[in-house]
């Protein structure tokens, strides 16, 4: 790891520590610099502002999901991929979500939900011949479901019992993906 990578990592870590205590708009470059023992110019050498730093942190979370989950065998695994990642930064995500910069996390969460949905569909239904249009519609349906459940969980304070509820919902809807795909195939004939 290069010196620049070490510095960037220290800045991210300091920022995440500060996010446990307050919302992102309340954190200054001075706060971050003092926390990780650098000067402000060093911060600005690596980041334009605290919001570009926040974007990078969440993009790295997305990259981590891509690396850890090349295949997903169920919608429950899709949900777990996102919630386990989020729980690692629970306080930070809660502060960001309750701030005027929540769109930074929401945009990455949307991208995560799309990724896990596509991986699920390509893992479980690799040989199914669907039109591109139908594949996009099915992806959108499950992406929106995953996103909606996750946002509801975040709004509720990221409580573990909500994850249990989400799993129950997904268990009760087993076979829905098969049915949707079957109906799409039949409508193409």
Q: Is the pLDDT of residue 117 over 80?
A: yes
Q: How confident is the model at residue 129 (pLDDT cuts 50, 70, 90)?
A: confident
Lookup: tokens for 51? 């919001």
115 band by pLDDT with thresholds 50, 70 and 90: very high
Residue range 52-75: mean pLDDT, rounded: 93
Q: Quick check: 148 pLDDT over 90?
A: yes
State the average pLDDT over residues 127-155.
92
What pLDDT score does 131 carry?
87
The burial class, CB within 10 Å (0-12 / 13-18 / 19+), for 167 is middle
Task: Compute the average pLDDT of residues 32-41.
Answer: 94
**Average pLDDT of span 47-57:** 94
Rg (CA), the chain: 19
pLDDT at position 189 over 80:
no
Q: Which of 74, 78, 68 is nearest to 113 (CA)?
A: 78
pLDDT for residue 85 is more than 80: yes
> Between 129 and 188, whose confidence is greater?
129
Identify the pLDDT of residue 32. 97
- Distance in angstroms (rounded) separating the CA atoms of residues 157 and 83: 12
Write out the two tokens for 32: 């971050």
Q: How confident is the model at residue 27 (pLDDT cuts 50, 70, 90)?
A: very high
Which residues, at least 6 apart from 15, have a Cβ–Cβ distance to it below 8 Å? 27, 32, 35, 50, 53, 54, 57
Mean pLDDT of 73-87: 93
The residues, any chain, with a CB within 8 Å of residue 118's CB and separated by 6 or more, are: 139
Cβ-contact 112, 36 below 8 angstroms? no
What pTM did the predictor assign? 0.89
**Which residue in 65, 113, 57, 63 sits closest to 89, CA to CA?**
57
């Amino acid at each position: 790891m290069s010196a620049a990578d070490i510095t960037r990592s220290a800045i991210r870590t300091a920022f995440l520590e500060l996010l446990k205590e307050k919302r992102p708009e309340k954190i200054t470059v001075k706060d971050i610099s003092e926390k990780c023992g650098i000067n402000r110019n060093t911060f600005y050498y690596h980041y334009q502002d605290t919001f570009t730093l926040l974007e990078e942190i969440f993009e790295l979370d997305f990259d981590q999901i891509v690396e850890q989950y090349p295949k997903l065998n169920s919608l429950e695994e899709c949900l777990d991929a996102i919630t386990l990642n989020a729980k690692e930064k629970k306080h930070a995500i809660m502060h960001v979500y309750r701030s005027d910069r929540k769109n930074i996390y929401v945009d990455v969460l949307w991208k995560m939900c799309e990724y896990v949905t596509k991986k699920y569909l390509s893992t479980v239904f690799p040989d199914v011949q669907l039109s591109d249009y139908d594949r996009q519609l099915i992806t959108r349906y499950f992406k929106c479901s995953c996103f909606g459940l996750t946002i509801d969980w975040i709004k509720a304070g990221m409580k573990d019992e909500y994850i249990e509820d989400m799993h129950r919902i997904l268990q009760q809807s087993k076979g829905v993906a098969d049915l949707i795909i079957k109906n799409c195939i039949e409508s193409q004939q």
